[in-house]
């Protein structure tokens, strides 16, 4: 039996937490032979609800769940963690952009970054889900300068999954025949689902979906506005699909990527494709099962170039708005 891996989850009593924790405890995050200890972090007002979530986790009798630590103390919460899933933060309401949450949520990530540096395991990897996730990740990373920059991730996988489904629906194929669809940039309405590199059944997407106008008129705005459409319909932001995307992200980072595919996650830019170094920017990525890297050498046409610059500009603007939170 392997020794348990400590997984810290913030916002554990929230909507996403309720979809995420049971999947982690059942082995879907780290694999069916990997025991886990869940370290569940909430703010004081969430602790009562968290008690109920803990009871339900216990009542599932998951064989892989070797311990549960519910806490509002960050040092205790991140102690020994090898994965930190930073979900806890306020979701936007109808009519807001995710960036409008910066003033409310940004400061949460200074203390969490410091606590991760001071308490987590030496192999800690952090995935930020709470919005605006790219810039929140930037804040946490900059407040934990001793943690290597390649251990910080912000979630754009939900956008990738949304984009793949839209392409599959349009082409009338199963979603798993869509590969190499990467989200570029910010998890916001400027994100760019780059369909030029994507394939359907191994063929380039633009050769399968020949209705050229559909991409700019329907596909890109549908993906960019999907989060808002769900808030409008449900009255609450996406939760089960967000939890699913968090699981997918960690699986993609920890298992070798298939030869004919890549995946999306926002990472620390080292200047790939001319993107400002230091930003947390979503790129096409590949993993060898332990380390991941940006897929380099893709051809970028004028249309894509404009889009990847526009979303970079928004991230630079967000960075300037939180400069007081970046030591």
Quick one: what does residue 230 bind among ligand NAD, ligand LMR, none, with the CB cut-off 5 to 8 Å set by partner type?
Answer: ligand LMR
- Told to check if 130 binds ligand LMR by CB under 6 A, we report no
Choice from 200, 239, 280, 294 touching ligand NAD (CB under 6 A) = 239
Task: Say what angle helices 133-142 and 302-321 make with each other, to 10 degrees.
Answer: 50
Q: Binders of ligand LMR among 57-116, rule CB under 6 A? A: 91-92, 98
- Told to check if 129 binds ligand NAD by CB under 6 A, we report yes
Q: Which residue is nearest to ligand NAD (CB)?
A: 14
Q: What are the tokens at 124?
A: 């800690």
Q: What one-character-per-residue DSSP string does 19-32 give?
A: HHHHHHHTTTTT-T
Q: What are the tokens at 262?
A: 């890549």
How crowded is residue 313: how many other Cβ atoms within 10 Å of its Cβ?
Answer: 14
Instruction: Using the structure block, give the residue that is written with the tokens 């989850």.
Output: 9
Q: Which is nearer to ligand LMR, 158 or 325 (CB)?
A: 158
- Told to check if 230 binds ligand LMR by CB under 6 A, we report yes
Q: Are 75 and 118 in contact (CB under 8 A)?
A: yes
| Binding flags for ligand NAD, 150-179, as an x/- string (CB under 6 A) | -----x--x---------------------
Instruction: Using the structure block, give the residue that is written with the tokens 């191994």.
Output: 202
Q: Which is nearer to ligand LMR, 53 or 154 (CB)?
A: 154
- Told to check if 253 binds ligand LMR by CB under 6 A, we report no
Catalytic residues: 187
Any bridge partners for residue 126, and if so which? 84, 152
Q: Which of 184, 186, 5, 13 is nearest to 87 (CA)?
A: 13
| Distance from C-alpha of 251 to C-alpha of 118, rounded to nearest angstrom | 26
Binding site for ligand NAD (CB under 6 A): 10-11, 13-17, 41-43, 46, 87-92, 108, 129-131, 133, 155, 158, 187, 237-239, 242
Binding site for ligand LMR (CB under 6 A): 91-92, 98, 131, 158, 227-228, 230, 237-238
């Amino acid at each position: 039996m392997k020794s348990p891996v400590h997984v810290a989850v913030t916002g554990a009593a929230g909507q996403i937490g309720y979809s995420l924790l049971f999947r982690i405890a059942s082995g879907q995050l780290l694999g069916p032979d990997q025991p886990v200890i869940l370290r569940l972090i909430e703010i004081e007002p969430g602790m009562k609800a968290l008690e109920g979530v803990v009871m339900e986790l216990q009542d599932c009798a998951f064989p892989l769940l070797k311990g549960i630590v519910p806490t509002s103390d960050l040092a205790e919460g991140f102690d020994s963690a090898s994965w930190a899933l930073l979900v806890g933060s306020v979701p936007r309401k109808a009519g807001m952009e995710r960036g409008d949450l910066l003033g409310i949520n940004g400061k949460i990530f200074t203390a969490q970054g410091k606590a991760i540096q001071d308490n987590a395991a030496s192999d800690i990897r952090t995935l930020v889900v709470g919005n605006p996730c790219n810039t929140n990740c930037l804040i946490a990373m900059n407040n934990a300068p001793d943690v290597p920059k390649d251990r910080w991730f912000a979630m754009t996988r939900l956008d990738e999954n949304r984009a793949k489904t839209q392409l599959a629906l349009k082409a009338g194929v199963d979603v798993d025949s869509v590969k190499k669809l990467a989200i570029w940039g910010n998890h916001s309405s400027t994100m760019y689902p780059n369909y030029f590199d994507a394939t359907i059944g191994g063929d380039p997407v633009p050769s399968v979906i020949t209705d050229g106008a559909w991409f700019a008129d329907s596909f890109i705005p549908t993906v960019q506005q999907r989060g808002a459409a769900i808030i409008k319909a449900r009255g609450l932001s996406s939760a089960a699909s967000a939890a699913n995307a968090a699981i997918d992200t960690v699986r993609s980072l920890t298992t070798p990527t298939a030869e004919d595919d890549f995946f999306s996650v926002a990472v620390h830019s080292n200047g790939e494709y001319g993107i400002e170094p230091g930003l947390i920017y979503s790129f096409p990525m590949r993993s060898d099962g332990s380390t991941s890297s940006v897929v380099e050498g893709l051809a970028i046409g004028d249309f894509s170039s404009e889009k990847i610059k526009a979303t970079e500009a928004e991230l630079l603007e967000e960075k300037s708005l939180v400069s007081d939170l970046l030591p």
